[in-house]
Amino acid sequence: MDEGDWGALEKAWAAKFKPVPRQTPLPVLIAEADKAVADVIASLTKEYVGVVGTTASHSANSNPLGAFNDAASSASALSSSLARQSAPETGTHGAEEDASQTSMIDRSGDDGVADWPKLYGSLCLIQAPMVRCSRPAFRQVCRRWGTRISYTHMLIAESFVKSSHARHAEFALYDGEDRLVVQLAAKSGPVAAQAAGIVRPFCDAVDLNCGCPQRWAMKEGIGAALLEKPELVADMVRAIRNATPEGNGDTPALPCVVKIRVQEDLRRSVDFARQCEAAGAAWVTVHGRTPHCHPSAAVQFDAVRHIRESLSIPVVLNGGVTDVSSALEAALRTGCGGIMSANGLLDNPAAFYRAPSAAAMEQEVTFGASCVRWEEPTEREQERCTSMTENASSPFTPIRPVSFIWAPRHAVLSGGVAPPPPPSPTVFRYTVPAMWEAVITPREVISDFVRCAIRTDLAVPTTVQHVLRMARVYVSPAERNHLALLRSNLSVLSCLQEIGVYVKEGHIGCE
């Protein structure tokens, strides 16, 4: 849609925002992260073969890759038991009982081939689109506490194009926002192209939602219902690309990306992704669960990896990533440098925060003009943490080791010769030192969200629900009931300050 065709309301809506200064294209960021992960996987595979392959023995009739495939599946079984352990010597016995046939080699104390903090810093951590939650305040807090790319919540393209009220109510930015992907739900190429043209000056990419499993969305023919219509999705990608081409001067083409879910027949998922690639998609985001499985079901990392290996464009992983250790493990198991998280960030927007320097590992972290002080929990907070974490003695420890389990899907020696498999499936356990891992959401993060929400999302009904979700440990049942009876978000935020949840420290000041 050309700006000259807009009415007065549309011009007023567009005047609220400043065009986004685009710097590094988002596909380049994700491709660089993919390369960093691929380099580490190659080094770890070589190390794995050197440690495990040289001591193995096998018969002539054995499958040369079977044990390595078993090791990859065993890593999934072990990861849930070990990912939360804070020290190499703790928790190993119980995990081995869960996978009694799997041997584990602890590489935590060795001088490994990987620079774990550097690898983690190379990942492109992405905040997922979430209905009613991916508002400006939440996006800003996630960006300041560790994510590199933000998504809006799903915008219904048809309503967005036709209704000025929908544009005013559903789309907003915070001052200086960049690296933003606008997610559209559409079932028509012309409508999708028109909506993309409206948001083009204010975002870095447009995403087509082909993975929402909610019943109302599938009934409307959007979301996961589009997985049955790959040709239509490819047409929408082409329509958006044609409507937002590279312009004169500093106006690059607007990347179009697609977010899908794994299907029961993996071949259909690969074919769908290939059609999107052929139509011009910049990357494909794959949620590793099917549309009909439970939200807490196991993520099919092998399926995501297979889709990634079938494409020449980047693939972003979504699903099952809630903290530092799960992000590292997911990246190594799939080869994806782009890692997207939803529920992990909803509970704690600082779930992926990494201390920027050695000085930040102290109790006081200086960040620009703001200062973060990690306070000791009160006795009441300690009691409430007991039911939430195995390490209740120090739930606010800002820096502690994180562990994860890894084994290559398959490994080959020089010359393409497969190494002999180990006597039993073997996995390596790595511990990454000096990384951030907050068991519960620090008050500084909640306070940052409150300050952002007052500016941009104070009137949004879900703002208080989101605050209470992050502050669930600090608020007693009686206090929660009292807050639920208040009639304004401002009253709720005032009560949080009285309770002691709101503090002045944080990364985002009170300008």
The closest of 162, 47, 185, 59 to 105, measured between CA atoms, is: 47
Q: Which two tokens stand for residue 54?
A: 């040289």
Q: Exposed, middle or buried by CB within 10 Å (0-12, 13-18, 19+), for 16?
A: exposed
**pLDDT band for position 101 (50/70/90)?**
low
Torsion sign (Cα): 329, 266, 409, 115 = negative
46 belongs to a structural domain: no
The CATH code of the domain that includes 312 is 3.20.20.70
The mean per-residue pLDDT over the stretch 57-67 comes to 37
Higher pLDDT, 381 or 464: 464
List all residues 6 or more positions away from 156 whose beta carbon is below 8 Å from its beta carbon: 166, 185, 222
Residue 280 CB coordination number (10 Å):
16
Going through 33-138 in order, the beta strands assigned E by DSSP cover 103-106, 124-127
> Residues of the chain with pLDDT > 70: what percent?
68
Q: Is the pLDDT of residue 416 over 60?
A: no
Q: What pLDDT does 51 receive?
A: 77
List all residues 6 or more positions away from 85 whose beta carbon is below 8 Å from its beta carbon: 91, 92, 403
94 belongs to a structural domain: no
Q: Look over the chain and give the mean of its residue pLDDT values, rounded to a whole number.
A: 75
Helices (H), 244-378: 266-279, 301-310, 324-334, 343-347
Residue 19 CB coordination number (10 Å):
12
51 belongs to a structural domain: no
CA distances from 367 to 335, 451, 505, 509 (A): 32, 17, 11, 11
Least confident interval from 53-62, 137-146, 174-183, 372-381: 53-62
Q: What's the total number of domains in the chain? A: 1
Torsion sign (Cα): 150, 154, 155, 158 = positive
Q: Exposed, middle or buried by CB within 10 Å (0-12, 13-18, 19+), for 296?
A: exposed
Higher pLDDT, 305 or 361: 305
List all residues 6 or more positions away from 473 whose beta carbon is below 8 Å from its beta carbon: 381, 384, 385, 388, 440, 441
252 belongs to a structural domain: yes
Higher pLDDT, 100 or 254: 254
Higher pLDDT, 95 or 243: 243
Q: Is the pLDDT of residue 453 over 70?
A: yes
Q: Which residues are catalytic?
A: 212
374 belongs to a structural domain: no
Q: Is the pLDDT of residue 8 over 70?
A: no
Contact 129, 151 (CB under 8 A): yes
Give helix 66-82 / helix 324-334 axis angle, nearest 10°.
170
Least confident interval from 192-196, 341-345, 400-404, 495-499: 400-404
Q: Is the pLDDT of residue 109 over 90?
A: no
The mean per-residue pLDDT over the stretch 189-213 comes to 93
Kind of pairing between the strands at 284-287 and 256-261 = parallel
**pLDDT band for position 508 (50/70/90)?**
confident
240 belongs to a structural domain: yes
Q: What pLDDT does 465 receive?
A: 82
* DSSP for residue 76: H
List all residues 6 or more positions away from 303 whose beta carbon is below 8 Å from its beta carbon: 262, 266, 269, 286, 288
* DSSP for residue 105: E
Kind of pairing between the strands at 180-185 and 205-210 = parallel
**Does the predicted model carry a pTM greater than 0.95?**
no
Helices (H), 387-472: 443-456, 462-470
74 belongs to a structural domain: no
Q: What pLDDT does 321 receive?
A: 92
The closest of 115, 123, 88 to 428, measured between CA atoms, is: 88
Q: What pLDDT does 125 receive?
A: 94
Higher pLDDT, 103 or 184: 184
What domain range is 270 assigned to? 22-39+114-351
**DSSP-derived 3-state class of residue 56:** coil
List all residues 6 or more positions away from 211 whose beta carbon is below 8 Å from its beta carbon: 223, 224, 227, 259, 260, 261, 285, 287, 291
> Which segment, 206-220, 240-254, 341-355, 366-380, is predicted with the most confidence on average?
206-220
Q: Is the pLDDT of residue 54 over 60?
A: no
287 belongs to a structural domain: yes
The closest of 47, 44, 116 to 432, measured between CA atoms, is: 116
